[in-house]
């Protein structure tokens, strides 16, 4: 996983991976068949290492659907600090692979739902926070299309300063953008009778220090080698 994360999909060399593992290059091809197949397995492990929406702490779930979204969005930067290798892999899978491999990735995301988006949407519907006149799959698609791209935009100044936002942006402005983004989502898929969470509740969410992670550190370390 590290070889792809550090060098990118195209520059990563199977020979270097084999040398790091102390095995023959042919052994990797014998097991996976191709570089595409190897990366696909690495990508699946990377995205499955991330927490699901409903892995948020119980008090955050009790605060509601949009409070849970806020909880994860304000913690986006932990992807770079703690999970930078799987996050780079997810970026490569989403933006840096060929169309054939991207098609396989899309099929995997739809079939396996690694972020638990379907269950999360049903959670919001059960609380009366989401529109019931929209198809569940449509709401799931809206979240899949927008949340990931918005998180990438929040992080991109760390990866490529100045591409999406000006470097040195104040934290207050970053929080304002998160709140504006959530308001757009609420207007698009939120139930008309559902009131937006009070900002005081959202700030309480932001001050929480517990970050739920479904995978233990040792397992993650093994996956990254």
Phi, psi dihedral angles at 182 (to 5 degrees):
-65, -35
* pLDDT by position in tens, the chain (length 225): 788 888 888 888 888 888 888 888 888 888 888 888 999 999 999 999 999 999 999 999 999 999 999 999 988 877 667 778 888 888 888 888 888 889 999 999 999 999 999 999 999 999 999 999 999 999 999 999 899 888 888 776 555 544 444 555 566 778 888 999 999 999 999 998 756 666 656 666 555 544 444 343 333 433 344
Judge whether 52 and 214 are in contact, CB under 8 Å.
Answer: yes
pTM, two decimal places: 0.78
Instruction: Compute CA 167 distance to the chain's CA centroid, rounded to the nearest angstrom.
Output: 23
- Domain 47-224 listed as CATH 1.10.3470: no
């Amino acid at each position: 996983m590290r070889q792809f994360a550090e060098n990118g999909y195209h520059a990563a060399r199977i020979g270097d991976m084999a040398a790091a593992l102390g095995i023959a290059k042919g052994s990797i091809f014998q097991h996976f068949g191709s570089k595409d197949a190897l990366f696909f397995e690495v990508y699946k492990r990377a995205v499955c290492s991330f927490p699901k929406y409903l892995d948020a702490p119980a008090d955050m779930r009790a605060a509601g659907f949009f409070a849970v979204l806020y909880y994860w969005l304000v913690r986006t930067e932990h992807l770079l600090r703690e999970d930078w290798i799987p996050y780079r892999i997810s970026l490569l899978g989403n933006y840096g692979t060929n169309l054939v491999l991207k098609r396989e990735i899309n099929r995997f995301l739809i079939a396996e739902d690694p972020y638990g988006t379907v269950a999360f949407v049903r959670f919001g519907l059960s609380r009366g926070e989401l529109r019931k006149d929209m198809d569940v799959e449509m709401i799931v698609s809206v979240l899949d299309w927008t949340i990931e791209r918005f998180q990438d935009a929040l992080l991109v100044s760390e990866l490529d300063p100045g591409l999406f936002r000006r470097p040195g942006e104040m934290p207050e402005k970053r929080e304002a953008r998160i709140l504006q983004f959530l308001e757009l989502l609420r207007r698009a898929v939120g139930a008309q009778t559902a009131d937006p969470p009070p900002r005081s509740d959202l700030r309480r969410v932001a001050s929480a220090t517990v970050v739920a992670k479904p995978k233990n550190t040792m397992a993650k370390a093994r996956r990254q080698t």
